Structure 1
Amino acid sequence: MMDDWILYDDTENTSTRYVGYAGNHSRFDVAITTTAHFYGKKLVTVIQTGRTAILNDDEAADVAYLMHAFQISREDEAEELSEFLTSNL
């Protein structure tokens, strides 16, 4: 433990919204966590895969970024997730 450095150790109350969303091309179950820790961004987790990203409105609108962050292979699926997130963050 002598070589380890704790960079931060914070505790806070957060709010998490769980949403199951079915579009024309895919289904997503997401957890959207609101916290003061990420400078106004939301912590978004796709429950099916466990993949998590810290997003603001601009990042939620970036389909290519969502494809990378959540490892979504189809652009139409990522577009649906983007549409959902941009109206629900």
Structure 2
Amino acid sequence: MERFFLYDEVAETKTRYVSFMGENRRFDLAILQTDRYYGKSIILDIQSNRFAIIGDDDLQTDGYLEAEFNLTSVEAEELRDFLYEAV
């Protein structure tokens, strides 16, 4: 069977690894920045094996971080505060 590629590209990325302790849990993240995804960043939560493509608009959406990273509202607020500075 022949593969049908929608795209197959190599992109330069900038990756920031950061670990911080919030009031309720530790966050170990990899933040990937690239020209793709309309200026949004790929946020990988290394501990939970979850990731999301996130920009400012996503941070302002109620319940987005809670759903994407399976967080409580308190944990999501700690992550949101950090990501506002990081992305």
Q: If the length of structure 1 is used for normalisation, what is the TM-score?
A: 0.89
Contact 1:63 1:78 (C-alpha < 8 Å) held by counterparts:
no
1:59 aligns with 2:58: yes
SS of residue matched to 2:63: helix
Change (3 A) 1:85 1:66: same
Q: CA deviation at 1:59?
A: 0.9
What is the percent sequence identity of the aligned residues? Answer: 41
Give runs of aligned pairs for residues 1-89 of structure 1, distance below 5 A. Answer: 1-2=1-2, 4-72=3-71, 74-89=72-87
In structure 2, how many angstroms separate the alpha carbons of the residues matched to 1:61 and 1:47?
A: 23
**Structure 2 counterpart of 1:77, one-letter code:** E
SS of residue matched to 2:80: helix
Structure 2: runs of 5+ lacking an equivalent = none
Q: Larger deviation: 78-87 or 59-68?
A: 59-68
Where has structure 1 moved over 2 Å in runs of 4 or more? 60-63
Change (3 A) 1:78 1:63: farther
SS of residue matched to 2:66: helix
How many residues get paired?
87
In structure 2, how many angstroms separate the alpha carbons of the residues matched to 1:63 and 1:86?
A: 14
Structure 1: runs of 5+ lacking an equivalent = none
Q: If the length of structure 2 is used for normalisation, what is the TM-score?
A: 0.91
Q: CA deviation at 1:63?
A: 4.9
Quote the RMSD (CA, aligned, Å).
Answer: 1.3
Change (3 A) 1:87 1:67: same
Q: CA deviation at 1:57?
A: 1.2
